[in-house]
Structure formats: structure tokens, C-alpha cells
Amino acid sequence: MIKFLKRFYLVIVLLFLYLPIAVLIIQSFNAGVSRAKWEGFSLKWYQELLQSPTIMEALYVTFTIAIIASIASTILGTLAAIGIHAMSRRPQAAMMTMTNIPMTMPDIVTGISLMLLFIFTRVERGYFTMLLAHITFDTPYVILSVLPKLREMNRHSYEAALDLGATPGYALRRVILPSVRPGIITGALLAFTLSLDDFTISYFTTSPLVQNLSTLIYSETRKGVKPTMNALSALMFVALLILLLAVNYRSTKTSEAK
């Protein structure tokens, strides 16, 4: 009986989480505008989606910011993780506390803080400020993805490479980076996924003239949910699902390799 109740509870939770998404995806193929009546299968909302210049512009902003932010945060996060790993215990603990703060802080606090910073420094909000914000909240996730791999690495490998005549840069490229490559790739994929999915921080750090997909969907739904928004949301869900499956698959393969 207890086992049945556990399974029933799990089914209810999963239905509560995913049934609305399933309904949204189904409605994106509805030929009619009404959400209460099925008028036949159609792809016309996806065609209108691809023909909309506003949505295409938001798609361009979303993907370019996600790509640039993930690359920049991966470089910064990897270098920061190497530096933190080389510190003594107390400075390392202080840096890890500072790294964890942006991850535990609510997104709305981070978004408002960055908005106030840009206003105080008189930086006009737009594409550049949104990009800086995404790099800011992506970097801690990269650090926490790379640090475990650094701790698994033999601490004396780098020193041995230096003793054998390698320069610090060569030892970094040939010894440290190959050892932590799985963590770097996982961190990059995670940063890309988070940047692609972000709404709150993007909303506070951009202007109405520059919108990514999440802020565009929010502004459009305030006027009423259009069928094209169903199609756009469905595509975003599928894209993020594929990315998350790729991250989990890589993490599973890495764990099995150990």
C-alpha cells in the first residue's frame, strides 16, 4: 500500500509539472485560434513564427548572447577555478562563499542589483548590459563544474611538468586543461542552457528595444496569448530539453568512466 501511494504521489507531481507543457505543445498544432476547441492539425503557427521579424530578432539576440556568454563565462570560470584551487584553505573558503552567493541569491535581487549598477554608472541598458549580466550569473556555475575535476587531478602533475622544462602556459594547456576538460564542457553547456532560459535578470538589464525570447514572450502574453507564442514556447522547451539531456548524458558517462 505504501509503495502504491508513493508511486501515485510521484505520478500526480509529474502530471502537475508536465501536463500544462504537454497541453501547450498540443495547442501549438491547433489550426484554430481558440484554445477550447480543436480545429485540426496545422503547422501554420510555426510558419508565422518563422516569418515574424520581431521573433526572429529576439531569437538572434537570445542565441548570440547565450553563445557569447557561455564562451566568456567558461573562460573566466575555468581560470577562476584554477586560481581558487591553488589558494590556501582560508582564502579558498572565502572565495567559495563569494562564488555561492550569486547562485543562492534570488534572480530578482541579482537583476535589480545589476540594473541599479548600470543606472549608477550611466551605462545604457540594451544588448551589451544583458550580455554582461548573463556572463555574471553563468560564471559561478562554471567554477563549480570545474573545481571537482581539479580536486580529482594529481596535484603534482603540474609541478612535474615544470620540473621537466615546460613553461607555465604550456603546462596549463597540456596538463591542467585536458584533465579538467569534462568539467569545462559540462560548465559550458550549463551556462548556455541557463542563459538561453533566463528571464528575470534579462528583464531588468535590457531595454524594451532589445528583447530575448523570454522577455518577448512575457511582453506578448500581457496582450493575450497568441498561438505563435505557443509554438515559440514549444520550441524553447524542446531545445532546453535536448540540452539538459546532453548535460545529464555527459555527466552519466563521466561517472561511469570512473
Could you report the per-residue pLDDT of 102-136, keeping only the tens digit for each? 888 888 899 999 999 999 999 999 999 999 999 99
Q: What is the pLDDT of residue 119?
A: 92
Band the pLDDT of 256: cuts 50, 70, 90: low
Asked whether residue 55 carries a pLDDT value surpassing 90, the answer given is: no
Q: Is the dihedral of CA 10, 196, 224, 230 positive or negative?
A: negative
Of 55, 215, 208, 230, nearest to 134 by C-alpha is: 215
Distance separating alpha carbons of residues 182 and 188, to the nearest angstrom? 10
* DSSP 8-class letter at 154: -
One-letter amino acid identity for 122?
Answer: R
Q: What is the pLDDT of residue 75?
A: 94
Cβ–Cβ < 8 Å for 214, 202: yes
Nine cell digits for residue 251: 555527466
Cβ atoms within 10 Å, residue 130: 28
Say whether domain 53-257 belongs to CATH 1.10.3720.10. Answer: yes
Q: What is the pLDDT of residue 238?
A: 85
Most confident of 34-48, 188-202, 219-233: 188-202
Percentage of the chain modeled with pLDDT above 90: 24
Band the pLDDT of 33: cuts 50, 70, 90: confident
Element housing 139 (H / E):
helix 127-152
Tell me the three state secondary structure of residue 41. Answer: strand
Of 153, 160, 193, nearest to 177 by C-alpha is: 153
Of 20, 42, 22, nearest to 32 by C-alpha is: 42
Residue ranges per structural domain of the chain: 53-257
Band the pLDDT of 205: cuts 50, 70, 90: very high
Q: What is the pLDDT of residue 113?
A: 92
Q: What secondary structure, in 3-state letters, does 48-86 show?
A: HHHHCHHHHHHHHHHHHHHHHHHHHHHHHHHHHHHHHHC
Cβ–Cβ < 8 Å for 125, 115: yes
Cβ–Cβ < 8 Å for 240, 197: yes
Element housing 233 (H / E):
helix 227-257
Asked whether residue 258 carries a pLDDT value surpassing 60, the answer given is: no
Distance separating alpha carbons of residues 9 and 220, to the nearest angstrom? 35
Could you report the per-residue pLDDT of 146-159, keeping only the tens digit for each? 998 888 887 778 77
pTM: 0.81
